[in-house]
């Protein structure tokens, strides 16, 4: 089966953007990624539902269901549920959420328990993929070792995992052998965010770059693509022409497999 490779696109006309890129999958925001406001109903909901293009929804960056502060944790759960409902309305395939972090004085285990509670309160069958993050000393989704501990608590909820190459690199996780280490931690990789990094290894900075630029050796990105079977989303800078070239590049890594 052809592997789905696509890109994160502007939400103004996502199907047009996917068509321009020849992509069978796209990722988009349904609301302001920096805001708490619930997604608005979309005029193109029926088109998105009926389209053969697979749609992944990226939830707002502000979501932190692990927060000790309930003025962050409670709205985080709410907008997660709002986003899941809005994703259902367009028949999306899944919603991606960043792992989040606890406060400086807290044990990360508190965050695992809060993730479990958030997942238990979800009123939707929409799949949720927890994504690894680039930074945060108290992050629950940065180091693979921490993700393994998180999965001991949330793994039986059926939650999925999204692996981001830029975030792993920035987090100080060697990319060599990364897929095996993640699989040992979670038993699954549901989506690959295939990104270069504008910063050196272990920078803790979340700045994506194009695959052939930036600091990550492209053969290490190729190895990760080859060792996974899930759909691939590029979250790289540039427009359609940049993405077309990168989608071709990613597809070339799996030719003959
Ligand atoms: Zn990502």
pLDDT digits (tens, 9 = 90+) for 115-154: 999 999 999 999 999 999 998 889 999 999 999 999 999 9
Question: How many A from CA of 144 to the centre of ligand 1?
Answer: 15
Question: How many A from CA of 164 to the centre of ligand 1?
Answer: 5
Question: How many A from CA of 120 to the centre of ligand 1?
Answer: 24
User: Do 141 and 131 meet the contact criterion of CB atoms below 8 Å apart?
Assistant: yes
Domain residue limits at 175: 31-52+59-237
Question: How many A from CA of 142 to the centre of ligand 1?
Answer: 12
pLDDT tens profile 99-110? 999 998 999 999
Beta bridge partners of 98: 131
7 belongs to a structural domain? no
> Collapsing DSSP states into helix, strand and coil, what is residue 248?
helix
Question: How many structural domains comprise the chain?
Answer: 1
For 73, phi then psi, to 5°, come to -65, -45
CATH number at residue 205: 3.20.20.150
User: Do 83 and 60 meet the contact criterion of CB atoms below 8 Å apart?
Assistant: yes
64 belongs to a structural domain? yes
Under 8 Å CB-to-CB from 80, ≥6 apart: which residues?
59, 63, 65, 95, 97, 118, 122, 128
Q: What is the pLDDT of residue 257?
A: 59
Q: Which of 201, 182, 184, 200 minimizes the C-alpha distance to 192?
A: 182
pLDDT tens profile 192-245? 999 999 999 999 999 999 999 999 999 999 999 999 999 999 999 999 999 999
Give helix 178-186 / helix 144-154 axis angle, nearest 10°.
20
155 belongs to a structural domain? yes
18 belongs to a structural domain? no
Which protein residues have their CB within 5 A of the ion that is ligand 1?
Answer: 164, 193, 235
């Amino acid at each position: 089966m052809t592997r789905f490779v696509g890109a994160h696109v502007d939400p103004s006309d996502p199907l047009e953007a996917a068509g321009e890129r020849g992509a069978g999958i796209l990722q988009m925001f349904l609301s302001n990624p920096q805001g708490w406001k619930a997604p608005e109903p979309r005029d193109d909901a029926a088109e998105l539902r009926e389209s053969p293009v697979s749609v992944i929804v990226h939830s707002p960056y502000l979501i932190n269901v692990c927060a000790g502060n309930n003025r962050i944790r409670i709205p985080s759960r709410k907008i997660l549920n709002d986003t899941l409902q809005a994703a259902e309305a367009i028949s999306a395939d899944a919603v991606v959420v960043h792992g989040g972090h606890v406060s400086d004085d807290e044990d990360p285990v508190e965050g695992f328990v809060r993730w479990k509670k958030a997942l238990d309160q979800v009123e939707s069958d929409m799949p949720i993929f927890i994504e690894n993050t680039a930074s945060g000393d108290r992050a629950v989704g940065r180091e693979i070792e921490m993700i393994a501990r998180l999965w001991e608590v949330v793994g039986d909820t059926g939650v999925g995992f999204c692996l981001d190459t830029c975030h792993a690199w920035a987090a100080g996780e060697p990319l060599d052998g990364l897929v095996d280490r993640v699989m040992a931690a979670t038993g699954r990789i549901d989506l690959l965010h295939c990104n270069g990094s504008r910063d050196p290894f272990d920078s803790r900075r979340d700045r994506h770059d194009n695959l052939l630029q930036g600091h990550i050796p492209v053969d290490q990105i190729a190895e990760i693509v080859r060792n996974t079977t899930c759909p691939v989303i590029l979250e790289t800078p540039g427009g359609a022409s940049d993405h077309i070239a990168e989608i071709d590049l990613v597809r070339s890594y799996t030719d003959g497999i």
